[in-house]
Structure 1
Amino acid sequence: MTNPQSVAILGAGAWGASLANLAAANGHNVRLWSRQGSETLEAVVRDAQLVLSAISMKGVRDVASQVQSFPISPKAIFVTATKGLDPQTTYTPSQIWQTAFPNHAVVVLSGPNLSQEIQQSLPAATVVASSVTTASVLVQLVFSSSHFRVYTNPDPVGVELGGTLKNVIAIAAGVCDGLQLGTNAKAALVTRGLTEMVRIGNFWGAKTETFYGLSGLGDLLATCNSPLSRNYQVGYQMARGQTLTETLANLPGTAEGVNTCEVLVQVAKQQKINIPITEEVYRLLKGEVTPRQALEELMLRDIKPEYDY
């Protein structure tokens, strides 16, 4: 690019490192922060034009609070690439960053982005969304490449929730494959799972059509069909007889769907949102049902029309 940007990447896991490599390959000045690194958080975000957060959900509030106490460029754009919900407030990551920095543009980056494939330079696409169009266009330019196609979208809530909600359905998809239930069952599960995502998203103010795009259906398909997905692995390993504790202990990184599921069930009960797949995943994770019992509960529900007219 003729106008290189100063980019601070917070979180040096596989996803943060992949995004750092994409920006660096485009000629931008990239600084990477992790808790184990030698550089301080203050030094990494100093004078950054883009501050991208790729840390796990449990660390977002703490890191955002720390960054608040540092001098930040008044025009800095915050980008969040975390997929999850805060268990205490039910806030999304972008809501946490926007609350901490109300006068700054916040951009959501989400899509069917398995980091191991991106590290291998395999073709992929993603979506960047913000209420500030100029901010999402700038982020699009920073990360776009010949093997990483970036689209913009004006619905940050929908884009963010697509990436968050699909993790719960991916756990169910892993169970489906672990029990060897076949293609018909998997197709039905993913389709009905998308319906639940739309219901929850609409409650939060997201646009329905966003869930049929890359950050919704696209991310859902990738995560529900790949052993590279940590959330898929949770369901798969539990269906093969492992406990949740054993499964999580062997995972490289965080399966955000586990915590997200708990928050969703809490919200759905309060707001009377019908999310049967999510509820059965929750019961499975809590040890209330076996994978086989969860399946039977879903299959034996009252018969009904496909759509609520």
Structure 2
Amino acid sequence: MREITITILGAGAWGTALAQLARANGHNVCLWSRHGELSLKDALEGAQIVLSAISMQGVTQVATAIASIPISADTIFVTATKGLDAATTLTPAQIWQATFPQHPIVVLCGPNLSKEIHQNLPAATVVASIDAEAAEAVQAAFTSQRFRVYTNSDPLGVELGGTIKNVIAIASGACDGLQLGTNAKAALVTRGLTEIIRIGNSWGAKTETFYGLSGLGDLLATCNSPLSRNYQVGYQLAQGKTLAETLAHLEGTAEGVNTAEVLMQRAETQKISMPITTQVYRALQGEITPRQALEELMLRDTKPEYNN
């Protein structure tokens, strides 16, 4: 494999896991943190791939800072952030593309719990872009015997699948925290996928993308693992803790909290039915308890499973 230079922005659990994968493939990796001593300019020197694994809150700020630094015209930008901008409802890839319109933008997303990556457990992910060559370059850089990388031509769908499922993961954690059983959780996750597809379609994403690794795959991983920060938010709320208490003891950022609020803005403007997201948002706001949220979902009007 040809050695390349990769700069990874964000030294949290996900950023360090991706750095570990790239280094194992023999690449020259620079890991940059907003709280470290290395300057952004020095970190980007010679980078052929710049991968952002920073939290949603910092995406615009970091992208703007990089725009003032000379970058090779061949540099590929990769976003591995799962979230939505609160002010604009833009996805991370849309922010990067607006900042660097002449560069290929690739979305990396899948059922990738960072702690399992650090443990060298096998996993798979998706890299998506409208630039097929850029997606294939990122695929080649990260593919290994323990990390299988697929390409996809629907970056919006891949990104939204990994983002919206965080809200469903909060609901799933609450379901387990309330000890509602397997039947209830299966129903929740299945209807959650339907909701994700409905929202994604309204955004312009392809339905089939949500049945792949970044949709159904990521949904299953985060809805079933205590390693998921979003799952933990829902679980702790169901145990009677406040959101503030839960977030204070959480390692890293639970992007689903902010995502739920942004989705509610979109639901109101686009007139999209988001019953699970609505109840998750109300529970996060302290308007209702997780158990009351469940009762409201169960008492909704009966309807066909699919509306053709």
Residue identity (%): 72
Secondary structure of 1:109's counterpart equals strand
Unaligned runs of 5+ in 2: none
C-alpha distance after superposition, 1:82-103 (max 9, x if no partner) = 0000000100000000000000
Quick check: 1:266 aligned with 2:265?
Answer: yes
Residue in structure 2 matched with residue 84 of structure 1 by the alignment: 83
Question: Contact 1:46/1:73 (CA < 8 Å) preserved in 2?
Answer: no
Residue in structure 1 matched with residue 134 of structure 2 by the alignment: 135
Secondary structure of 2:89's counterpart equals coil
C-alpha distance after superposition, 1:43-97 (max 9, x if no partner) = 1112211000000000000000000000001110000000000000100000000
Residue in structure 1 matched with residue 277 of structure 2 by the alignment: 278
1:110-129 to 2 correspondences below 5 Å: 110-129=109-128
TM-score computed with the length of structure 2 as normaliser: 0.99
Residue in structure 2 matched with residue 106 of structure 1 by the alignment: 105
Unaligned runs of 5+ in 1: none
TM-score computed with the length of structure 1 as normaliser: 0.99
C-alpha distance after superposition, 1:134-163 (max 9, x if no partner) = 000000010111000000000000000000
Quick check: 1:45 aligned with 2:44?
Answer: yes
1:250-265 to 2 correspondences below 5 Å: 250-265=249-264
Residue in structure 2 matched with residue 243 of structure 1 by the alignment: 242
**Paired AA for residue 29 in structure 1:** N
Structure 2 distance, partners of 1:19, 1:73, is 22
Question: Contact 1:110/1:215 (CA < 8 Å) preserved in 2?
Answer: yes
1:66-81 to 2 correspondences below 5 Å: 66-81=65-80
Structure 2 distance, partners of 1:48, 1:116, is 26
**Paired AA for residue 265 in structure 2:** Q
1:35 Cα deviation from its structure 2 partner? 1.6
1:1-309 to 2 correspondences below 5 Å: 1=1, 3-309=2-308
Question: Contact 1:79/1:109 (CA < 8 Å) preserved in 2?
Answer: yes
1:174 Cα deviation from its structure 2 partner? 0.4
C-alpha distance after superposition, 1:198-252 (max 9, x if no partner) = 0110011110000000000000000000000000000000000100000000000
Structure 1 distance, partners of 2:253, 2:125, is 21
Structure 2 distance, partners of 1:53, 1:36, is 15
**Paired AA for residue 206 in structure 2:** K
Structure 1 distance, partners of 2:246, 2:8, is 29
1:164 Cα deviation from its structure 2 partner? 0.1
Structure 1 distance, partners of 2:3, 2:100, is 24
1:36 Cα deviation from its structure 2 partner? 2.1
Aligned length: 308
Structure 2 distance, partners of 1:27, 1:180, is 46
Secondary structure of 1:126's counterpart equals strand
**Paired AA for residue 188 in structure 2:** L
Structure 2 distance, partners of 1:149, 1:132, is 20
Provide the aligned C-alpha RMSD in A: 0.5
**Paired AA for residue 93 in structure 2:** S
Structure 2 distance, partners of 1:212, 1:116, is 24
Structure 1 distance, partners of 2:190, 2:135, is 30
Secondary structure of 1:131's counterpart equals coil
